Amino acid sequence: MKSFHLTVSVLAFAAAMPAAARDQIQVTGSSTVLPYATIVAEAFGENFDFPTPVVEGGGSGAGRKKLCEGVGENTVDIANSSSRISQSDIDLCAANGVAEVMEVRFGYDGIVFASAVDGPEFALTPADVYNAVAETVLKDGALVANPNGTWSAVNAALPDQNILVLVPGTKHGTREVFDTKVIIAGCKETGAHDLFVAAAEGADDKEKAANADKACMELRTDGKSIDIDGDYTETLARLDADKNAVGVFGLSFYQNNTDKLKVATMSGIVPSTESISSGEYPVSRPLYFYVKKAHIGVIPGLKEYIEFFVSDDMAGPDGPLAEYGLVSDPELAATQEMVASETPMAPLQ
Amino acid sequence: MTDISAAGPGIRRPKQSILTASDNMKRRNAAEVRFKAYGLLAITVSLTMLAIMLFTIFRDGVSSFHQATLNFPVELTAETLDPKGNRSREEMVKVTTVGYQKVLSQALLAELQARGITQEGVTDKQIADLISKDAAGALRARILANPDLVGTTIDANILAAGRVDGFLKGRVTYGTAERDNQISPDQLRLVEQLRDAGIVQSSFNWTFFTNPDASDQRPEAAGLGVALLGSAYMMLMVLVMCVPVGVAASIYLEEFAPKNRWTDAIEVNISNLAAVPSIVFGILGLAIFINFAGMPQSSSVVGALVISLMTLPTIIIATRASIRAVPPSIRDAALGVGASKMQTVFHHVLPLAMPGILTGTILGLASALGETAPLLLIGMVAFVDNYPSAPPEGFLDPATALPVQVYSWASRADPAFIERSNGAIIVLLVFLVVMNVAAILLRRRFERRW
């Protein structure tokens, strides 16, 4: 009899489970956006009568896949992303019945090069970085395996210090920006890109250029460029251990650790929220979050949360996000309008 | 005798005495001495590692149990906090934390003026920055819960900003403040004055155990509250789910099941299950409990189910071992006086196996408490700011767990979170030590040797 009661109560418990309505917003995605999203979530919980949203990290790609898993209370409402959604994600969404997704760009994130605070100053250019970390560089008019051992060999103006660059691992959104805005830019600047195109195989110019880009992005494997698969705290720890290292960080991370890090200029521009929003500092990327439109009106507070996120109080140039290191989006007003009218995103170009 | 005759008279043995050591003897003795030295060395190495680990954790973590607070009177002006003046909650919620922040910073400035504390090179905004960003939200919640406070003056005991706390703990110095864009050396000089005046105080950090997690801008407010509650919920559910199932399975397998190919296969599989990496259970949990059964993400019930799957083999193995350790004579005697098989098991075998079962369960729970990997996949590594409600509904609410909190703090940008992370490790270690000591004591107290 007892066991019967137990079975019945377990079954009842299991049956009651899906019936419980979710009353808090679920957010997942990019670990770069995570600190911004938690700051907004916390302020949202303080100032609104809705529960504080639950914010998860885990990566941009993983977050978008979770968003596209389907519609319903046990799927997430918002995916944070430090890179733009891809067509394959949109297809996945459509296949799983997630018809309308809102794309909200709320600001920009700068990517900076920084070294130990008591070390020498670095004034880098994309070409310097390319010559320091690429597998193959242009030397005396020919492509050769990277011979540079010290920064001064790359550029006589740089310190005479062994090259060691801590690069974000390939699973990071930061790596994409590093590749396109620094490595490929440097590759083109040094002229290596032209030779790669000339040597590349491909049916047409477009394919050749793509293959040349790929060849540019090959980093040296002799231990002078190290992929960091963890987050910026790991990069900082490696930099503490080896004072010669130069690490790649997010601007916000650097701003929270100015007592340990010295930032390098890029093409003569000091990275700051101002120089990034004006577009002077070249290495930056937009930050997004993607909202499942079908959940607006179902999950309480979802629309309020999005509106609060992009409001001037939060994402504006004087808001707490800018204070933390976000570069405010100059077109924030358009975004606010888009959120207010709940416009879903147009197909990708 | 046979040895001597086998050696034969033709072979001359060296003259031996038990009083003088032969070469062979010396060699064997030396080998023993060496082996003991290796053993000692191994123990020294492992103890040193443990000592280094504990030392670094305690060095970096103990400071999280102290927290700097600001103590000053705050006048809760009705004009800002309740502009309509009717003390109704609906009207007062329109005043956001920005308004409360102003009230707090004005009160601090007024207090400094009244006490005659001044500092060159510090602006009013920089003085306001000494107050934690969390304080306004805490004050707002307090006043909305009790609107009658508006118009009175309260003695506020609020959190100081993380850098101020770091200064009192020695993490932030004048040297680092030079290069820090969140605090200036002049602000630190002001903090020293405030400390001398008794406005800045350092006291035991209760909020570390009660507060939920906080965002990157307010490390001083981050606490383990949600994580402790989530871990407690999970352990409770693991206990309720694992012990009956595990013990019943073990009893059946040991006492009732026929010994054949099937039970052998089950036995091998249970041992294999205990060795499956925990992340695999996480993937399983995501696929079955969340995607298929539709249970809520980040909830402690899913965490408990996943961890139960992991703990179950451990409990079954421990239980079977302790049932097997009960001598067959007990069973024979019980059966001999006419007890049924079931009576034998429940009246005699199980009570005698109980201490072993308990120990196994506690050790299984202790390892489950420290489990992180499967929780990564089911959404428990998250920023959860609201406490889960009371059980049973609370089991469905989002929660985190202790090891997960360690993990997520360790990857935050602000160095103050490293201290918190180590503090959380200390709390986790204390729980583990208590559980392991309880297991040892129970075994000592109740174990019977046959």
Q: Which of A7, A42, A73 to mutate to test the interface with B (most CBs of B within 10 A)?
A: A42
| Fold held by A20-108+286-340 | D-Maltodextrin-Binding Protein; domain 2 (3.40.190)
Query: Is the pLDDT reported for residue A74 higher than 60?
Result: yes
Which class for A35: exposed (0-12), middle (13-18), buried (19 or more C-beta within 10 A)? buried
Contact with chain B for residue A258, Cβ under 8 A: yes
Q: Is B408–A57 a contact, with Cβ atoms under 8 angstroms apart?
A: yes
Pair A277, A108: CB distance under 8 Å: yes
* CA separation, residue A45 to residues A32, A136, A222, A284 (Å): 21, 52, 49, 30
Higher pLDDT, B288 or B11: B288
Per-residue pLDDT of B364-409, as tens digits, reads 999 999 998 899 888 888 899 989 988 888 898 999 999 999 999 9
Query: Is the pLDDT reported for residue B228 higher than 80?
Result: yes
Which class for A100: exposed (0-12), middle (13-18), buried (19 or more C-beta within 10 A)? middle
Which residues in chain A have Cβ-Cβ distances shorter than 8 Å to B412? 35, 233
Which residues in chain A have Cβ-Cβ distances shorter than 8 Å to B301? 17
CATH number at residue B281: 1.10.3720.10
pLDDT band at B14 (very low <50, low <70, confident <90, very high): low
Does one domain contain both B240 and B385?
A: yes
CA dist., res. B309 & res. B319, Å (int): 16
Pair A29, A62: CB distance under 8 Å: yes
pLDDT band at A101 (very low <50, low <70, confident <90, very high): very high
In DSSP notation, B325-367 reads TS-HHHHHHHHHTT--HHHIIIIIIHHHHHHHHHHHHHHHHHH
Residue in chain B lying closest to A10 (CA)? B241
Q: Helix, strand, or coil here: A27?
A: strand
pLDDT band at A139 (very low <50, low <70, confident <90, very high): confident
Does one domain contain both B296 and B372?
A: yes
Does one domain contain both B314 and B419?
A: yes
Higher pLDDT, A234 or B247: B247
As separate numbers, helices (DSSP H) first and strands (DSSP E) second, chain B gives 21, 4
Residues 6+ away with beta carbon under 8 Å from B7: B13
Q: Per residue in A135-153, is it b (16+ CB within 10 Å) or e — as a string?
A: bbbbeeeeeeebebeebee
Per-residue pLDDT of A256-287, as tens digits, reads 888 888 999 998 899 988 888 888 888 888 89
The two tokens of residue B63 are: 């400071």
Does one domain contain both B115 and B242?
A: no
Does one domain contain both B440 and B301?
A: yes
Helix axes A60-67, A87-95, angle to 10 degrees: 30
Q: Helix, strand, or coil here: A69?
A: coil
Q: Is A39–B216 a contact, with Cβ atoms under 8 angstroms apart?
A: yes
Q: Residue B33: its pLDDT value, please? A: 96
The two tokens of residue B312 are: 């179950």
Does one domain contain both B197 and B287?
A: no
CA dist., res. A231 & res. A253, Å (int): 10
Q: Where are the alpha helices (H) located in A86-133, listed in sequence order? A: 87-95, 126-133
- Do the first three CATH levels of A20-108+286-340 and A120-242 match, i.e. the same topology? yes
Residue in chain B lying closest to A13 (CA)? B392
CA dist., res. A232 & res. A32, Å (int): 10
Query: Structural domain boundaries of chain A?
Result: 20-108+286-340, 120-242
Does one domain contain both B263 and B303?
A: yes
Does one domain contain both B419 and B351?
A: yes
Which uninterrupted H or E stretch holds A123?
strand A123-124
Which residues in chain A have Cβ-Cβ distances shorter than 8 Å to B295? 17-18, 74
CA dist., res. B389 & res. B99, Å (int): 29
- DSSP 8-state class, residue A318: T
Domain finish residue from B141, B176, B205: B205
* Amino acid letter for position B56: T
Bridge partners (DSSP) of residue B154 are B74
Q: Which of A9, A31, A34, A56 to mutate to test the interface with B (most CBs of B within 10 A)?
A: A56
Bridge partners (DSSP) of residue B68 are B202
Residue in chain A lying closest to B162 (CA)? A256
Residue located via tokens 């005495």? B17
Q: Residue A7: its pLDDT value, please? A: 52
CA dist., res. A38 & res. B214, Å (int): 8
The whole-model pTM stands at 0.84
The two tokens of residue A1 are: 């009899």
B26 falls within a domain:
no
Contact with chain A for residue B96, Cβ under 8 A: yes
Mean pLDDT over each residue of chain A, to the nearest integer: 85
Q: Is A24–B415 a contact, with Cβ atoms under 8 angstroms apart?
A: no
Give how many domains chain B has, as a whole number.
Answer: 2
Domain finish residue from B175, B205, B235: B205
Closest residue by Cα to residue A178 from A82, A78, A308: A82
The two tokens of residue B300 are: 């402690």
Task: Determine the structural domain holding residue B438 and report its residue range.
Answer: 225-446
Chain B residues 381-420 with a CB less than 8 Å from chain A: 381-386, 392-393, 396, 398, 408, 410-415
Does one domain contain both B198 and B238?
A: no
Per-residue pLDDT of A54-66, as tens digits, reads 998 888 888 898 8
Q: Is A35–B412 a contact, with Cβ atoms under 8 angstroms apart?
A: yes
- DSSP 8-state class, residue B223: -
Min CA distance, A237 vs chain B (Å)? Answer: 11
Q: Report the percent of chain B where pLDDT is more than 90.
A: 54
Domain finish residue from B145, B174, B205: B205
Query: Is the pLDDT reported for residue B249 higher than 90?
Result: yes
Does one domain contain both B158 and B236?
A: no
Q: Residue A1: its pLDDT value, please? A: 45
Does one domain contain both B235 and B194?
A: no
CA dist., res. A277 & res. A206, Å (int): 31
Contact with chain B for residue A252, Cβ under 8 A: yes
Does one domain contain both B140 and B250?
A: no
Domain A120-242 has CATH 3.40.190: yes
Q: Per residue in A214-230, is it b (16+ CB within 10 Å) or e — as a string?
A: ebbbebbeeebbbebee
